[in-house]
Amino acid sequence: IAGITQAPTSQILAAGRRMTLRCTQDMRHNAMYWYRQDLGLGLRLIHYSNTAGTTGKGEVPDGYSVSRANTDDFPLTLASAVPSQTSVYFCASSARLAGAVSTQYFGPGTRLTVL
Amino acid sequence: GEDVEQSLFLSVREGDSSVINCTYTDSSSTYLYWYKQEPGAGLQLLTYIFSNMDMKQDQRLTVLLNKKDKHLSLRIADTQTGDSAIYFCAESIQNTGGFKTIFGAGTRLFVKA
């Protein structure tokens, strides 16, 4: 593994079903994030985790939950999917470049369609 | 409030310069970033600028920051077809527990051969 991986690459899901999107990083970054990307809205933060064992809510957390049992993994769960959750989901982790500058490293994304 | 705004589309001819503009609202921004997203991929950091700088140059990329007007621009010299992508402006602001990053909606750059 190099960087951040996400699975699945794409998924079509029936409304009401439960779904977990997986995210794994091998860079030992403390902070991890889940975003959704929708046309014209850019990236919106769903949940984040500053370090293993802690999580926080982002801009659009409703309908989603996360866990951070260890440094490497940060799964995102949709308990009961709805069509408005159709989107492309990106997982990211962040590292400091120098001083207070940090950059986020993004996974390739998961395209989710809820019917 | 925290908001980052960009125009959604820009079209240029190959060899011309591209200028992508961004405005932000939070005056406490510490760093401002430009990310590039190629089709089917995640975002990758292109460059960043500290909020007390007004210009940064990196090969074909020039970042200009007008802190008074809260305006950031990315200029790409000699634009190539490989530069076709979505470009995201982002600002890093301090909040409880650290920093958070606010992204714009992205500007889709079309490069015509």
Class of residue B69 by CB neighbours under 10 A (exposed 0-12, middle 13-18, buried 19+) = exposed
CA dist list (Å): A26 to A5, A47, A92, A101, A104: 9, 20, 12, 21, 14
Average pLDDT over residues B8-22: 96
Identify the closest residue of chain B to A39 by CA–CA distance.
B105
Please judge whether B105 and A50 are an interchain contact, meaning their C-beta atoms are less than 8 angstroms apart: no
Stretch A48-68: mean pLDDT: 93
Q: Which pLDDT value is given to residue B31?
A: 86
**Residue A7 at interface with chain B, using a CB cutoff of 8 Å:** no
Tell me whether residues B104 and A107 touch, CB distance under 8 A.
no
Banded model confidence at residue A98, pLDDT cuts 50, 70, 90:
low
**Residue A76: both structure tokens together:** 């995102």
Alpha-carbon span B89 to B10, nearest angstrom:
14
Binned at pLDDT 50, 70 and 90, residue B19 comes out as very high
Residues of B in contact with A43 (CB under 8 A): 43, 88, 103, 106
The predicted model gives B60-88 an average pLDDT of 95
Q: How near does any CA of chain B get to the CA of A13, in Å?
A: 20
Q: Name the residue of chain A whose CA is nearest to B50's CA.
A: A101
Using the predicted structure, report yes or no on whether residue B18 has a pLDDT greater than 90: yes
Q: Is B17 on the interface with A (CB under 8 A)?
A: no
B43 touches chain A (CB under 8 A): yes
Q: Is there a contact between A29 and A23 (Cβ–Cβ < 8 Å)? A: no
Answer yes or no: is pLDDT of A97 > 70.
no
SS3 B105: coil
List CB contacts (< 8 A) between B107 and chain A.
none
* Range of weakest confidence among A59-73, A85-99, B9-23: A85-99
The secondary structure of residue A59, as a DSSP letter, is S
What rounded mean pLDDT belongs to chain B? 90
How would you list the strands of the sheet with A64-66, edge to edge? A4-7, A19-25, A76-78, A64-66
CA angle A49, A99, B62 (to 5 degrees): 100
Give the residue from B26, B36, B17, B29 showing the smallest Cα distance to B53.
B29
* Cβ count within 10 A of residue A9: 10
A106 and A92 in contact (C-beta within 8 Å)?
A: yes
Q: Classify residue A81 by burial, with Cβ atoms within 10 Å: 0-12, 13-18, 19+.
A: buried
- How far is CA A46 from its chain centroid? 7
Check A97 against B48: CB less than 8 A apart: yes
